[in-house]
Amino acid sequence: MKSPLEYVRRNILALKPYSTARDEFKGGDISVWIDANESPYQNGVNRYPDPHQKALKERISRLFDVAADSIFLGGAGSDEAIDITFRVFCRPAIDNAIAITPSYGVYRVAADINDVELREVCLNADFSLPVEAILSAADHHTKLVWICSPNNPTGNAFPKEQILELAERFDGMVVVDEAYADFSAKGSLLQEISSHPNIIVLRTFSKAWGMAGLRAGMAFAVPEIIAFYNRVKYPYNMSVLIQKELLRRIEEGTRNHIEEIIAEREKLAKGLREATCVREVLPSDANFLLVRVTDPDAVYDFLIEKGVIVRNRSTMPLCEGALRVTIGTPEENELTLRYFKEFGL
């Protein structure tokens, strides 16, 4: 297997990152901080944040059992890591990437912004992973394969063995977006990055951790790759307040909420199958259900009238007639189920 550094763009290999005043500070008993042109008046946010998020990375390292130097932290959920991945590996207007479809739409947006061709490979009819088709779509300019698992909007997680096979056979980087992995019993690839250095795993605090408003995401990879993410990112990409709030909320944990969402997911799926407008409720490893209905536009509009908003995914490949329904609180789920059953009455 090649070193993952062979896939990094040459200009990124040679990139000298911006050096902050705090990068030059090696430690010591400092009482007067006049090195960074900050305001000297203490208000809790007058100082720049730690550009390396050391305390937060150490806590996340223990949380996920991954070395701190294998962790990148970014804003905008996982979207900053997605954008940086294109910038580290793909030369604009030359290289390309592959993504499954239907899947998370930001992969295409980030590819378009970075002037990188994105080749979409449709999932099999049963939403399974088309490994051979993905490999067949690649050429010598293909640097990335994007796999969202559990996948959005289909909700299914792909077998780890298939993703590992893909990583072993693909001459490039495989990015596994595990935004919904906490809701799945099929496991994570986090512990595989050391043995498969061409795998990058994305995680987020937006879903199971209930911190979508903080916009914090993570990328995990071998330290050699994470070093380039840190070179490319802008210096202070995560504020003091977000770093402190993440540390505080990580200590609170989320296990009870995850267990309740999984239980509510199964309860809601069972109830929806009894609604006359529902044709099929797809199995889910995420915190949402993909629901095929008789008339997706009409059902969507009816729910809006009742004050309930879902996501209409009926125009996406393989998702004809489908609405995506996020699992809410027990009370919200009861209302949602009631209105599904009222439709057409």
- Report the mean per-residue pLDDT for the chain: 95
Backbone angles phi, psi at 126, to 5 degrees: -95, 15
Share of the chain above pLDDT 70, in %: 99
For residues 139 and 93, the answer to whether their CB atoms sit within 8 Å is no
pLDDT at 227: 97
Whether the per-residue pLDDT at 12 is higher than 90: the answer is yes
Whether the per-residue pLDDT at 1 is higher than 90: the answer is no
Q: How confident is the model at residue 21 (pLDDT cuts 50, 70, 90)?
A: confident
Domain-ending residue, one of 252, 274, 307: 252
> What's the whole-model pTM score?
0.95
Average pLDDT over residues 184-198: 96
Whether the per-residue pLDDT at 254 is higher than 80: the answer is no
Whether the per-residue pLDDT at 324 is higher than 90: the answer is yes
Q: How confident is the model at residue 191 (pLDDT cuts 50, 70, 90)?
A: very high
Provide the CATH number for the domain around residue 320: 3.90.1150.10
Same domain, yes or no: 238 and 327: no
Closest alpha carbon to 200 in 208, 209, 189: 189
Same domain, yes or no: 105 and 54: yes
Distance CA 122, CA 163 (A): 16
344: Cβ contacts below 8 Å, ≥ 6 apart: 276, 277, 294
Same domain, yes or no: 248 and 259: no
Provide the CATH number for the domain around residue 109: 3.40.640.10
Q: How many CB atoms lie within 10 A of CB 304?
A: 11
What domain range is 303 assigned to? 255-342
Whether the per-residue pLDDT at 27 is higher than 90: the answer is no
pLDDT tens digit sequence for 111-121: 999 999 999 99
Q: How many domains does the chain have?
A: 2
Whether the per-residue pLDDT at 4 is higher than 70: the answer is yes
Whether the per-residue pLDDT at 318 is higher than 90: the answer is yes
Whether the per-residue pLDDT at 29 is higher than 90: the answer is no
Average pLDDT over residues 172-197: 97
Q: How confident is the model at residue 345 (pLDDT cuts 50, 70, 90)?
A: low
Q: How confident is the model at residue 152 (pLDDT cuts 50, 70, 90)?
A: very high
Same domain, yes or no: 61 and 128: yes
pLDDT tens digit sequence for 84-101: 999 999 999 999 999 999
Q: How confident is the model at residue 124 (pLDDT cuts 50, 70, 90)?
A: very high
Distance CA 202, CA 211 (A): 16
Same domain, yes or no: 228 and 323: no
Domain-ending residue, one of 252, 275, 295: 252
Average pLDDT over residues 243-248: 95
Domain-ending residue, one of 207, 231, 252: 252
Whether the per-residue pLDDT at 6 is higher than 80: the answer is yes
Same domain, yes or no: 188 and 321: no
Q: How confident is the model at residue 23 (pLDDT cuts 50, 70, 90)?
A: confident
Same domain, yes or no: 119 and 246: yes
pLDDT tens digit sequence for 126-145: 999 999 999 999 999 999 99
- Tokens 């979409």 belong to 120
Average pLDDT over residues 236-249: 95
Same domain, yes or no: 28 and 89: yes
Average pLDDT over residues 214-241: 96
